[in-house]
């Protein structure tokens, strides 16, 4: 069974800090990874995707992929209360997205 694992949290950080969200995956065949943000009661929305080893930056968000360690992370710099949400990691394998359980992030003013 291919798996994507996340710590469910909640992860609590103060406003302005860096939030670090982590994800591990079991299938070495997974090539691309996606980070989604989901506010309570709403549908997931895509933040970033990454398919190459290393870092990918987009504004306050940085995705990191380490294929050797089967590890994906999302860093949120200068965290804001509006970043409080559940963050879903997903891996693409064989044309299918496998989602982790999600990590709940709370940014305290």
Partner 1 sequence: EAQVTQNPRYLITVTGKKLTVTCSQNMNHEYMSWYRQDPGLGLRQIYYSMNVEVTDKGDVPEGYKVSRKEKRNFPLILESPSPNQTSLYFCATCDSSYEQYFGPGTRLTVT
Q: Give me the residues that bind partner 1 (CB under 8 A), please.
A: 8, 32, 34, 36, 41-46, 49, 88, 90, 92, 95-97, 99-102
Facing residues of 46 across strands? 36
Q: Alpha carbon of 87 to those of 23, 38, 76, 94: distances in Å?
A: 10, 6, 11, 23
Least distance (Å) between residue 107 CB and partner 1? 22
Q: Least Å distance between CB 87 and partner 1?
A: 11
Answer for the pair 4, 19: CB distance below 8 angstroms, yes or no: no
> Which residue, 89 or 107, has its beta carbon nearer to partner 1?
89
Work out how close the CB of 17 gets to partner 1 at its nearest, in angstroms, rounded to a whole number: 26
Are 61 and 83 in contact, with CB atoms under 8 Å apart? no
Cα(109)–Cα(99) distance, integer angstroms: 30
Closer CB to partner 1, 30 or 79, in the complex: 30
When the beta carbons of 19 and 87 are compared against partner 1, the nearer one is 87
Least distance from partner 1 to the Cβ atom of residue 13, Å: 22
Tell me phi and psi for residue 81, to 5 degrees: -55, -30
């Amino acid at each position: 069974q291919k798996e994507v694992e996340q710590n469910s949290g909640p992860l609590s950080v103060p406003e302005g800090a860096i939030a670090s969200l982590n994800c591990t995956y079991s299938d070495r065949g997974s090539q691309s990874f996606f980070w989604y943000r989901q506010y309570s009661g709403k549908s997931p929305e895509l933040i970033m995707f990454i398919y190459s080893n290393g870092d990918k930056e987009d504004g306050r968000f940085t995705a990191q992929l380490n294929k050797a360690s089967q590890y994906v992370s999302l860093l949120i710099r200068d965290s804001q209360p509006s970043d409080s949400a559940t963050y879903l990691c997903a891996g693409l394998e064989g044309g299918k997205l496998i989602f982790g359980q999600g990590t709940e992030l709370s940014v305290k003013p």
